[in-house]
Amino acid sequence: MTRIEYDASGKPVNVPGLEAIAGKRPEFAHGPRIWAETLAPALHARESERRESFRKVWRKTAVAALIPWLLLLVFGVMKPFLFGAWTIVLVFGTPISIILISGMDWLRVYAMKSATKELILGAACQCFGFTYETLAPDVSRVTDYRSLIAAAKAHQARYGTPGAKTGKRKRKRGGQTRITTPFGSASFGSSNATGPESPTPAYDVLEDASLLPGHDSRHFEDLIKGERAGAAFSLVEAKLETSGDIGGTVFQGLLFHVQYPGVFHGRTLMARSRWWKRGKAAKELQKVSLVSSELDRAFTVYSTDQVEARALLTPDRMERLIALERHFSGGKLRGIFEEGHMTIALEAPNQFEAGSIFKPLADPERFATALVELGLVCDMIDGFLTRDWAQDRL
């Protein structure tokens, strides 16, 4: 399968056509038919609405941006000594004006993007027998700021921080571990960040293993669940952030949780080298030397069972992980194998977006990209559970 590459802005390039990938795996076989019979007509029907929405929103945005300048022109001439004050009005007044005048229209554009993504990814997941949930707020029925507040409350009630409805939000700090290594220092372990409960066990597993950076808030989207190779799995996109003067995004990427059919005898942690060093959560583990010297330099592995770890992290399986990392333009791959689960985190740009809302909707590349991305996830799971995959898929 042709590997999808991404440009500097994160947009996919050289995406193969639906006909080209139809024979690559059974799940792709019905792709051209689903596109022609279901997705293409539905997206064509929405195209006129998309164009009209953008004409309206750009017109209102332009008007909203001009209002502060018109006020400056009028009152600045009348009272030139207030010109400095009007500079502040322009800086803060322009975005406020845009929000008040065109905010609802931009919200409708967002709703259209969310609905398009849900339609395309939902169809792609059905090809594999998976389910998809966007986890994004439902703003399709928002018409004014009152209904926007109602939609926000409904989303908060379903996905919000536990205790937020009663004002008893818990926010513990501390628990972060800062480690200094020859490659720099980093913080590991969360401070029981605010945000919704994780829709999969992956977040808590990685958090307990100190494989996620310290953060104050968390956000999840694009939940994919299903069964592959006889094992239940879940995949979600996570964004972790810190607050304060130097706050920002400390992790954005994918969290995988695969329920193994068997139980591991030991506990194995692995991560890309030059990023992670064994911390308190892994103090009882011993370093593992992988069979391949190249992989041994690329990954740091610790385990309570040396034999099991080497048997588990074979070169062909590690290649599946590297392929996953490469395809999603990701990095800092890390994971844990313990009890009956395989849990992996991969830092990567925003994924599963089903294309830009600024482009025509009825583009088969949107569907092909979603199918290929799901296929790669399946290849990774197959590689660990069955070793049954086509060698030319990636």
Is residue 161 assigned to a domain?
no
The answer to whether residue 113 sits within a structural domain is no
Give domain status of residue 340, yes or no: yes
Residue 100: the pLDDT is 86
pLDDT tens, position by position, 130-159? 999 988 777 777 666 676 677 666 666 665
- Domain count across the chain: 1
Q: Return the number of other C-beta atoms located less than 10 Å from residue 28's C-beta.
A: 24
- List, as one string, the DSSP characters of 199-250: SSTHHHHHHHTT-SB--SEEEEEEEEEEEETTEEEEEEEEEEEE-STT-EEE
pLDDT of 171-228, one tens digit each? 333 344 444 333 333 344 444 678 888 899 999 999 888 888 888 889 999 999 999 8
For residue 337, the enclosing domain spans: 172-352
SS3 letters across 141-206: CCCCHHHHHHHHHHHHHHHCCCCHHHCCCCCCCCCCEEEEECCEEEEECCCCCECCCCCCCHHHHH
**Is residue 205, in this structure, part of any structural domain at all?**
yes
Whether 100 maps to a domain, the answer reads no
Q: How is residue 17 annotated by DSSP? A: P
Asked, for residue 241, whether it belongs to a domain, the answer is: yes
* Both tokens assigned to 108: 């409708």
The answer to whether the pTM exceeds 0.85 is no
Residue 304 within any structural domain of the chain: yes
Q: Cα–Cα distances in Å, from 259 out to 84, 249, 338, 343?
A: 62, 29, 10, 9
In a domain, 234, yes or no: yes
Give the pLDDT confidence score for residue 271 in this predicted structure.
Answer: 87
Residues 114, 118: Cα–Cα separation, whole Å: 6
Q: If you search the block for the tokens 């439902």, which residue do you land on?
A: 138
pLDDT tens across 293-340, in order?
888 888 888 899 988 888 888 888 888 788 778 777 767 888 999 988
How far apart (Å, rounded) are the C-alpha atoms in residues 388 and 394?
Answer: 14
